[in-house]
Amino acid sequence: MGRKILIVDDDPHILEVTQFALDKAGMATVTAKDGAEALEVFATEKPALIVLDINLPELDGLEVCREIRKTSQIPILFLSSRDEELDRIIGLEIGGDDYVTKPFSPRELVARVNTILKRTSPAAMIEEDEVTLTHGLLTMEPHKHSAIWNDQPLELTATEYAILTGFVRNSHRVMDRERIVKYAYKGNIHVSDRTIDSHIRHIRSKFNSLGCDSSIETVHGVGYRLGDCQ
């Protein structure tokens, strides 16, 4: 049985379709029908990833994410029936790793979940990323999902960590959005420019909160490059 996935949705049909697709892909699934139940199941089942609907009754998905982010950096993939850019940006800004709009292809959902799980698999990280990375006052140990700036921990989601790793590995070059997507998602998945921009803003904000205002620079018309991180 594969890694455990928590699926949270108040629509029984979506819950059933999502659970069937992930189970068929070899994952173990648990479910919740509202935000309060989601927090309870998260605490008891300790899943590897959460597929989280935004539009839940009472305690919505964004609030559930905020609560979880107080104690955990578990990957969260948001679902929403609205394709509004504001929803997408807010979801990513508060700590989401990815975003899928309903109606969605179960195959695409499984692909995105697999991509995130591969990034966060301890065995995969040890095999691919044993080397400690440094840049200025930034030190990263990918096999531990550890990022330290000036002796202070950077709390990054799995996607943010993958993006920052790509920047450090390519500190000598400007990264366009296409190259950033390859590091963030490692698969043939379409991701909007605005989604990448939102992840970059969130990484910058986390650096800023530690006192670093030179983390990632914008190169207008091209993309982004890593700052001096001093």
What average pLDDT is seen over the chain?
Answer: 84
Residue 126 is predicted with a pLDDT of 42
User: Rounded to whole angstroms, how far apart are CA atoms 50 and 212?
Assistant: 31
Q: Could you say which of 3.40.50.10440, 3.40.50.2300, 3.40.50.970, 3.20.80.10 is the CATH number of the domain covering 4-120?
A: 3.40.50.2300
Rounded-to-integer distance, Cα 91 and Cα 62, Å: 6
Report the C-alpha gap between 67 and 36 in whole angstroms.
Answer: 11
Average pLDDT over residues 181-187: 72
Which residues lie below 8 Å from residue 190, measured CB to CB, with a gap of 6+?
none
Distance, CA of 79 to CA of 76 (rounded, Å): 10
- 38 and 9 in contact (C-beta within 8 Å)? no
CA distance 36 to 33: 9
Q: How far apart, in whole angstroms, are the C-alpha atoms of residue 18 and residue 109?
A: 8
**Are 160 and 201 within 8 A, CB to CB?**
no
- Regarding predicted confidence, which is higher, 187 or 92? 92
Does the CA dihedral 64-187-155-22 come out positive or negative? positive
Model pLDDT, residue 7: 96
Share of the chain above pLDDT 90, in %: 36
* pLDDT value of residue 99: 82
Residue 125 confidence (pLDDT): 45
Tens digits of residue pLDDT in 30-73: 999 999 999 999 999 999 999 999 888 878 888 999 899 888 88
Give the model's confidence band at 83: pLDDT under 50 very low, under 70 low, under 90 confident, else very high: low
Please list the alpha-helical segments (H only) found in 106-151: 106-120, 122-128
pLDDT above 90: residue 18? yes
Total length of the chain: 230
Residues 63 and 7: their CA atoms lie apart, in Å, by 16
Distance CA 132, CA 1 (A): 32
Task: Report the predicted TM-score, pTM, of the whole model to 2 decimal places.
Answer: 0.63
CA 40 to chain CA centroid, nearest Å? 21
Centroid of chain to Cα 19: 20
Domain 123-226 has CATH 3.40.50.300: no
Domain ranges of the chain: 4-120, 123-226
pLDDT score at 33: 94
Tell me if 4-120 shares its fold with 123-226.
no
